[in-house]
Structure formats: structure tokens, C-alpha cells
Amino acid sequence: MSVVVLRTAEEVRKTVEEWRCSRRIIGFVPTMGALHPGHLSLVSKAFEHADTVIVSIFVNPAQFGPDEDFESYPRTLRDDIDKLEKVGANAVFYPEKDIIYPEGFSTSVHVSNLTDTLCGKYRPGHFDGVSTVCAILFGIVKPDIAVFGRKDAQQLAVIKRMVLDLRFDIRIVGADIYRERDGLAMSSRNRYLRPVERTQAAALFRGLSRAAELAGKGERDTGRLCEVARQIIAKSPLAVVQYLEIVDQDTMKPVERLDGPGLLAVAVRFGKTRLIDNIVLDPGASYKED
Ligand code: PAF
């Protein structure tokens, strides 16, 4: 069966209502399009929890800063639909801007605390844009579950908090990071990298993996773990680290000592392209034996 393209909130409501009448569990994957295998793995993840999956494609202006890539963000609808058809998605919601933000739109959802650190520090207003658009999309689609990738770990934490605080009756599911063969996390922005930057970008995962390995062997000093990852990334001369920090996975607050799993998160610039990645550090058995 081919994927249905829905353009308005009414079309989505009607379609989802029909699915619900036939007792189907509804899964939702919000995206900004330019789909790559990482996005398609989110759809597969949604099918682990739902019978029917709807994907939204909306390049959300509210989450881009004035100097960011909103205008140039890749828009590849035809190709995206072909890919979604292949993975069996049931519907695509592809709204125009005024369907999401009609005239007079005046609301913003701000999740505090979790948005002060990491990307929140460098992209003011970004998470307000993300949580607002997700709240709108959740209100239109009303899914049972929604899937978000763990590459955007802070986004996942923000959405989980919002769903809890605003009592959306939606289960938020995190999906593992999907990586290229050399470890680079898949991202729609990887296509901006020049070949030499693309080669050097593999250092992110090398740095993160080395820190995870040391943490697994019992290293608990987060300063030391960060330094190890930073030195490996610094071997790529084009990499400019914006932040590299170990934080609590739920609160996104910095952690000084690993007394349990922590999230090592990094943002690096290669020229105009900004990449993010992360890995969970688990202090491991040697720590428990102390
Ligand atoms: O992760 C993304 O692609 C976007 O932030 C999202 C969740 C689709 C909201 O615009």
C-alpha cells in the first residue's frame, strides 16, 4: 500500500480517527525531511510499538536562529516519500507553514532547566521552537507513541519532560543513534561537509568511544574522560569543539563524577557545519566493586 500524503490538520485528524476506529495503535515520527537511514530506523522503531505509523515533514522555522540554515535546509520531498514507502510508513503529514502557525499564532512552549546547558547555551530559542512545534503536532496527530532519535539527546529529554508536565497521553520512545561505517552519526547536515571535513568528522565517534571504554573500565573522573575525548577530536585540525561535557541523561546538568551512567555530549563545527553526537558512559563493574 502506498503512503498517503496529508496536507491539513483536518486530513490528519480524519485519517487517524479511522485508524483508531479499527483499534490500531498509532506511532508518530516527527522529522524535518531530507530523510536518511537514521530517520528510517525511527520508523522501524515506531513499528515495534505501533500498527500504523505517520511521519511529519516540516522544516520548522521557529527552531532556527537568524544565522542558521533554515533557508538552505535540504528539502527533498519526492525522495523522502519514496523512502517512506519502502519502509511501509502509512502516512506523511506535510503541512505548509500557515497550517502549523496560522495568523495570530501566539503561543510558545518553554521547558526550563533542561534547556540551559549544551545546545541550549549556543542556540537561544531553539528548544522553545522544538517543544512548541512538537506540542502542535502532538495535538493534531494524537499518537499513542512518538519516536525521537537519541542523537538529539537533549531534545529527547526536553520532549519527555514536556509530555510529562503537559500530561500528553503519549509514550515517548528513544531510538539508538544510527551511524555511518566510520562511526559518524547520520544527520541531514552531513551532506554539507566537504570531503576533507567528512573524513575528519569520524574523530567525534573515536573520541566518544575511547571515553566510553575508559569509563567502562572504571574511570569516574569526568574531567579526565572529557580531556581524553577532546584530545582525540583535536587530532582533526578542522574540528572546532563548541562544547564537550558529561551531563545527567535526564536533567542535562553537568556531572563531576560518574556515580552512575552519564551522557558525554559534544558539538563540533567543521567550517559552517555544526555536528552533534553523544555516548552513554557507564562506570561498569570495576566501579561497583570499589
Ligand atoms: O529532530 C528534528 O528533526 C526536529 O527537531 C523535530 C523533532 C522534527 C521538530 O521540528
pLDDT tens track for 144-183: 999 999 999 999 999 999 999 999 999 999 999 999 999 9
Ligand 1 site, residue 131, Cβ cutoff 6 A: no
Instruction: Give the confidence band of 289 by pLDDT, cuts at 50, 70, 90.
Output: very low
Using CA positions, which residue lies closest to atom 8 of ligand 1?
Answer: 31
Which residue among 42, 59, 60, 141 is best mutated to probe the pocket of ligand 1, counting the most ligand atoms within 8 A of its Cβ?
60
C-alpha angle 45/280/199, rounded to 5°? Answer: 85
Ligand 1 site, residue 32, Cβ cutoff 6 A: yes
Ligand 1 site, residue 229, Cβ cutoff 6 A: no
The grid coordinates of residue 60 equal: 520548522
Q: Which atom of ligand 1 is nearest to the CA of 31?
A: 8
User: How much distance in Å is there from the Cα of 277 to the middle of ligand 1?
Assistant: 15
C-alpha angle 64/150/37, rounded to 5°? Answer: 85
Question: Is the confidence at residue 285, as pLDDT, over 70?
Answer: no
Using CA positions, which residue lies closest to atom 9 of ligand 1?
Answer: 130
Question: Is the confidence at residue 200, as pLDDT, over 50?
Answer: yes
What values do phi and psi take at 121, rounded to 5?
-70, -35
User: How much distance in Å is there from the Cα of 235 to the middle of ligand 1?
Assistant: 31
User: How much distance in Å is there from the Cα of 51 to the middle of ligand 1?
Assistant: 22
Q: What is the pLDDT of residue 267?
A: 98
Using CA positions, which residue lies closest to atom 3 of ligand 1?
Answer: 31
User: How much distance in Å is there from the Cα of 182 to the middle of ligand 1?
Assistant: 25
Whether domain 188-281 has CATH 1.10.3720.10: the reply is: no
For 4-175, give the CATH class.
alpha beta
Average pLDDT, the chain: 96
Q: Which atom of ligand 1 is nearest to the CA of 59?
A: 10
Q: What is the pLDDT of residue 283?
A: 85
Nearest C-alpha neighbor of 75 from the set 29, 34, 30, 31: 34
Q: Which residues belong to CATH 3.40.50.620 in the chain?
A: 4-175
Q: Which residues belong to CATH 3.30.1300.10 in the chain?
A: 188-281
d(CA 88, CA 83): 9
Mean pLDDT of the 100-119 span? 97
Q: What is the pLDDT of residue 288?
A: 42
Ligand 1 site, residue 154, Cβ cutoff 6 A: no
Ligand 1 site, residue 132, Cβ cutoff 6 A: no
* Residues β-bridged to residue 67: none
Mean pLDDT of the 107-130 span? 97
- 65: how many CB neighbours lie within 10 A of its CB? 13
- Residue 36 falls in the annotated catalytic set: no
User: How much distance in Å is there from the Cα of 256 to the middle of ligand 1?
Assistant: 30
